[in-house]
Chains A and B, each alone.
Chain A
Amino acid sequence: MASLDDELRSALRRREPSPDFTERVMARVASTPARPGRRLPQPWVRWVASMAAALLLTAGGLEYRNYQGERAKSQVLLAMRIAGGKLNKAQRKVQMATHRGNS
C-alpha cells in the first residue's frame, strides 16, 4: 500500500518544464495556419438585400394604410347613412306636421 502511495506521489509530483518550452509553444502557434473566418457577402449583395427589405416594409406600410383608409371610409359612409337617415326622418315629420297645420 505504501509503495502504491509512493508511486503515485512520484508520478504526480510537480515537474518544471524544459527551458525551451515557451519557445516551442510559440513556434507551434506561429506555424499553425489561421482557420478562415466567415466571409461577409459582397457589398452589392448587402445593398440589394437592404433595398428589398426597405421596399417590402414600405409596401406593407402602404397596404396597411390603404386598408385603414378603406375601413375608415366605410365607417364614414355608414355613419352618414345612419345619422342622415335619422335627421331626415325627423325633418320630414316636422315638415308634415307644419304642412298639416297650415292646411
Chain B
Amino acid sequence: MKPAGFLIATLLLAGAAPAQQVKWNFDKLAARASDSVDVSLDGALLQLGAKFLSDDDKDQAKVKKLVAGLKGIYIKTFEFKKPGEYSAADLESFRAPLHPPDWQRIVGTHSNEDGETVEVYIKNDSKGIGGLAIIASEPKELTLVNIVGAVDLDSLSDLGKHFNFPEVEVEKKK
C-alpha cells in the first residue's frame, strides 16, 4: 500500500473505531471501601433501558433524549468509613488516562467547606464532545464517572439540579 493510501486507511479506521471507556483500575479502592455503587451500561443495555423510560414523565423524557447519543455509562462510587482511605496517588492514577490531546480538563473545583473536589474532563472528537469523565472526591467518598458518546453537558447538568427520579420505580413493572 502506498504511504498516502495507508494514511487514508488509518484515518478512516480511526474514525470508525468505537469510542472506548476509560480504563480505570478499582481493585485497590474496592478492598478499602465500606460501600460501593457500580453502574455499568454498555450501548445495548443503555438503549434497552431508554426504551423503558416514560415519555410522559418530563425528567425521564429528558434522560431518554440525552441517552440516545450515548454509547456507554460507567460509574463507580466508593464510600469509606473514615477519611484518608484513598491517597493522592490513587487520584493521580485515575487522572492518568485523561491526558491531552484526547482529553481536556474543563472544570476543576474545590470546596473547603465540605472538602469536595470535582474535576470534569471532556473527550474531543471530530464531531465535538465524544465523552465525559468526572472525578469527584470527598474525604469519605470517591466517585468516578465515565460517559462514552456525544453527551449534552447542559442537559446533564440540568438533570442534576433536581433529583426527582422515582427511586422506588426501579424494580416495579410498568
Residues on A lying within 8 angstroms of B by beta carbon are: 66, 68-91, 93-94, 97
Query: Which of chain A's residues have a CB closer than 8 A to the CB of B45?
Result: 68, 72, 75
Q: Number of residues in B with C-beta < 8 Å to the partner?
A: 45
Closest A residue to B170 using CB positions: A74
Q: Roughly how many angstroms separate A87 CA and B158 CA in the complex, as a whole number?
A: 9
Q: Is B49 an interface residue (CB 8 A)?
A: yes
Further pairs besides A79-B75, A82-B37, A84-B160: 20, Cβ < 8 Å: A66-B173, A69-B52, A76-B50, A76-B63, A76-B73, A77-B165, A78-B37, A78-B75, A80-B63, A80-B66, A81-B159, A82-B39, A83-B75, A84-B161, A88-B158, A88-B161, A89-B116, A90-B109, A93-B118, A94-B109
Q: Is B136 an interface residue (CB 8 A)?
A: yes
Q: Which residue in B37, B52, B157, B170 is a CB contact (below 8 Å) of A91?
A: B157
In the bound complex, do residue A69 and residue B170 qualify as a contact, i.e. CB atoms below 8 Å apart? no
Q: Which residue in B136, B158, B170, B174 is a CB contact (below 8 Å) of A86?
A: B136
Number of A-B pairs, beta carbon distance below 8 Å: 123
In the bound complex, do residue A76 and residue B46 qualify as a contact, i.e. CB atoms below 8 Å apart? yes
Q: Is B107 an interface residue (CB 8 A)?
A: yes
Contact with A along B148-174 (1 / 0, CB 8 A): 000001001111110101000111111
In the bound complex, do residue A70 and residue B173 qualify as a contact, i.e. CB atoms below 8 Å apart? yes
Complex A-B: 10 CB contacts under 8 Å: A70-B173, A71-B171, A73-B52, A76-B49, A83-B147, A83-B160, A86-B118, A88-B157, A94-B107, A97-B109
Contact with A along B133-148 (1 / 0, CB 8 A): 0101000000101010
In the bound complex, do residue B134 and residue A86 qualify as a contact, i.e. CB atoms below 8 Å apart? yes
Contact with A along B62-87 (1 / 0, CB 8 A): 01001100000101010000000000
Q: Is B120 an interface residue (CB 8 A)?
A: yes
In the bound complex, do residue A89 and residue B51 qualify as a contact, i.e. CB atoms below 8 Å apart? no
In the bound complex, do residue B116 and residue A75 qualify as a contact, i.e. CB atoms below 8 Å apart? no
Query: Which of chain B's residues have a CB closer than 8 A to the CB of A73?
Result: 49-50, 52-53
Residues on B lying within 8 angstroms of A by beta carbon are: 37, 39, 41, 45-46, 48-53, 60, 63, 66-67, 73, 75, 77, 107, 109, 111, 116, 118, 120, 132, 134, 136, 143, 145, 147, 153, 156-161, 163, 165, 169-174
Query: Which of chain A's residues have a CB closer than 8 A to the CB of B73?
Result: 76, 79, 83
Query: Which of chain B's residues have a CB closer than 8 A to the CB of A83?
Result: 73, 75, 132, 134, 145, 147, 156, 160
Q: Roughly how many angstroms separate A63 CA and B129 CA in the complex, as a whole number?
A: 37
